[in-house]
Amino acid sequence: MKNEQFAPLLSYVQHTQQDVGSSAAALIVIQDDKIASEWYNGSHHFKSGAREVSAASLFNLYSARKTYVGLATAIAIVEGNLNIDTPVYAFIDDIPPDELGAITLRHLATKTGAKYFGKNRIEREELAGKVIERITGFNIAELITRKVLQPMQLSETEWVTAPKENLVCDFQAGDGYASVRIESNEGHERNLYTSTRDFGFWGYLHLKKGFINGTQLLPVEVFELFESLKAEEGIEKRILGWYYQQDWYYATGAAGCHCVVVPEFNAVGVRMYNKYTDNYKEDQAVFNSTLLNCLKSR
C-alpha cells in the first residue's frame, strides 16, 4: 500500500537499499491509529531460490532489541516498586558483589557503566535479564510476551531458537555470507526477529504509552519512568533502549532495522534492511527528518 504523502520517504529507502546492497527492504508508517503506508521489496538473500520479502518476513533487530530489554527493565522496576538507584548486586547470586561494583538499575536503564560482568564476561543485557527474572519471576522474553505481545496479538515477534523459512538472512557475519542468528529464548541475545508490522506496533505501544484499543496494557508508571529518566539524564543517553531527540525518538539495529516515533504527529515509521551502512548516524537522521517532512506535508 503506497501513499503519495510518503513518496519521498519511500524513495529514500529504495535508494539506500541499493546503495548499501541490502537484498531485503520494507517500510511501514502508522499514523492516527492506522497503517498509512506499507511497502516490501527484495528477497531474503541474494542466492537463487530466495524467498521474496513480504509482510510475513521476519528481520533480526540486533541492537533495536534493547528497547525490549528496556521495557522489561521498566516493568520490573515499577512492579517491584524499586528505587532506580538500587544496586544491582541486591538481585544477583552468581556474580560477587565486588565484581558488580556500584552498578545500579539506573545504569541498566541508561546503558551506562561497565558493559561486561563476572568471570564469564556476560553483557549488560544478560545482567538485566537476571535482575528482571529475579524481580518478576519471568525472563525478558516471557515478560514481554505476557505483558505486550499476547495482549496486542503480535504473533510475528520471537526470540528464534531454530531456523524457519520466514527468517530474513542478514550479512552481519564476519565472512560476509548470509546467515540467521540462532540463540536462546531468554530475551537478552541477538536473535530477536520480528515482522515490519509488529515492529511498527511496538513503536506504537510506546507512542500511546501503553494505552491500546481502549485498554491500559501496562501501568502508566512504566512510561512515567521513561520521562523521568529522560529529564534526569538528558537526551544524550540511551533511555531504556531509545535515543531521544527534539522531534522524535528512535532505535536502530546493526542490519538496518529502524523504528522512529514522532509524537507531535501521532506517527511511527519503520524501515527494515538486512545489510546496513557505516554511515548509520547520517542515515538515521535523514530517514527521521524525511518522515517528519512527509508528516508536515499533510
Domain boundaries, the chain: 4-296
pLDDT tens readout for residues 34-43: 999 999 999 9
Q: How far apart are CA 271 and CA 60, in angstroms?
A: 12
What's the rounded Cα separation, in Å, for the pair 35 and 198? Answer: 12
d(CA 163, CA 161): 7
Alpha carbons 161 and 199: distance in angstroms, whole number: 19
Q: Is the pLDDT of residue 298 over 90?
A: no
Q: Measure the CA angle with vertex 145, ends 288 and 221; round to 5°.
A: 70
The span from the CA of 178 to the CA of 28, in Å, is: 24
The pLDDT, as a whole number, for residue 105 is 98
Judged by phi (left if over 0) then psi (alpha if -120 to 50, else beta), residue 234 lies in left
Q: Express each pLDDT in 208-246 by its tens digit.
A: 999 999 999 999 999 999 999 999 998 778 999 999 999
Instruction: Give me the pLDDT at residue 175, please.
Output: 79
Distance CA 216, CA 148 (A): 11
Within 10 Å of residue 238's Cβ, how many Cβ atoms? 20
Q: Quick one: what percent of the chain has pLDDT higher than 70?
A: 99
The total of other beta-carbon atoms located within 10 Å of residue 87's CB is 16
Nearest residue to 156 via CA among 184, 99, 194, 108: 194
- Cell numbers of 258, please? 529502524
**Cβ contact 29:35 at 8 Å:** yes
Fold held by 4-296: Beta-lactamase (3.40.710)
Confidence label for 176 from pLDDT (cuts 50, 70 and 90): confident
Q: Is the pLDDT of residue 1 over 70?
A: no
